[in-house]
Structure 1
């Protein structure tokens, strides 16, 4: 395989990890109130520079049929992607800014990637690099079209509240964090929910939370939290996979989400249905 991914020179924001099609003076994702510009101002890098700095891929199992893929040392926001090995093929959930040919070969040995789906714009990162490396479409909600920094034919927009990727996998638009945010439900076995930080698994993994901005500590609107919880309650899931390494609710996922939302609304002094 030719060394193509690691030689890419399209710019990547050092603060959020978003890749853009061409050089620009600013990063719209970081200028938004949900994110921030770093203390040293707008800084850029490339995949080639990240390789030269010593970054490499990181692979760790995160659950049954779920492989975490990230980068070490940690870069930008620090999220890890998840490779779901399903009966209908492999799906990459969320994305990371870094990719090199060693990582490509490792994923190809596991069967490659058939679909890429991303929870929200903070994790769009280098999605087009991943799409090209594996000849896979990227599924994004059309409500967040404006945040795509590198438009490409591989990016496919969906609309509405749900999109069925396969018989087992459904994308859900809960309408929190970003208007086009997405959560992935895997119905196999006892069920699992993949949430990025649209629904954030807390360090105490008995709880999750929902925020408009995690970086700037802006709470999500209570009515939006309630609506999202009601939508997700239609699905059954034992496990909830968050955005960072080992942020996983390993049992009673529906109950964890329900009591976490009840706590959130109680602190927001909203009336919790049924109480």
Structure 2
């Protein structure tokens, strides 16, 4: 596989080798971080020597997990539908074996990243899987290191294939999106990326401008995000790092948003001591 791109060793996002920036702008931003030596390191995707597992998460939904590659270890998902499949988030590594495993699930119609941290090797995955259309939030297109082909810039809400809808609550990035789909059991499923983070307890959710640098969003923005996603019916929520809410997703999201807003407003300052 001849990739024809380079990628940032820290975030794993692809860049044009003929136009490499001095620093990866995604990592230089306050939401991410540079390498410990504060220098930029580029890698060739062709040098990947790790492993990529494609495993069923639930009927009709598959996860792609990379071990031993560059980047921040996001897990992509593939929604399998009769109208074509949709990859949500993009691995920061690629291999012939992984491509064959995804191809075996059926034709890939669309690729969409919830926000720029998840762009990964989206142009390579698209090319390897027959030229699947890559959907990029119009307001976040400035973060592209490589312009995929074919690409659709979008805003608001869009149906990627019949029954799979993406929309943009914003927050983490202005164009941060969620993807909604109805599972094989008839229950709604929400894939949230970093727009809404699944906490380790598997019951609550987080809303952050930066997760690694612990920068929160305001109470108003968090409640706006919750209001936005409540247009959908959903029972389960999947994040992009393996976390999941397995039941009561809509109620748990609202409770988590209300809790965040209350702490941000100062409602619970009496629990923090007197200073």
Q: TM-score, normalised by structure 1?
A: 0.91
Match of 1:89 among 84, 93, 98: 84
Partner of 1:195: 192
Partner of 1:57: 52
C-alpha displacement of 1:265: 0.6
Partner of 2:148: 152
Pairs within 5 Å for 1:232-251: 232-245=229-242, 247-251=243-247
Match of 1:109 among 98, 104, 111: 104
Are 1:254 and 2:267 an aligned pair?
Answer: no
**What RMSD in Å do the two structures reach over aligned CA positions?**
1.4
Cα deviation 1:244-270 (Å, max 9, x = unaligned): 12x111111101101000110111127
Deviating above 6 A after TM superposition, structure 1's stretches of 4 or more consecutive aligned residues are: none
Distance 2:24 2:167 in 1: 27
Partner of 2:227: 230
Distance 1:237 1:142 in 2: 26
Matched residue SS, 2:90: coil
Aligned length: 261
Partner of 1:177: 172
Matched residue SS, 1:240: strand
Q: TM-score, normalised by structure 2?
A: 0.91
Cα deviation 1:59-116 (Å, max 9, x = unaligned): 2222231111121125321101001112322110110110111111111122131111
Distance 2:195 2:180 in 1: 13
Partner of 1:267: 263
Unaligned regions of 5+ residues in structure 1, if any? Answer: none
Distance 2:69 2:94 in 1: 13
Cα deviation 1:182-229 (Å, max 9, x = unaligned): 100113511000011210011111011110001110001221111111
Are 1:32 and 2:29 an aligned pair?
Answer: yes
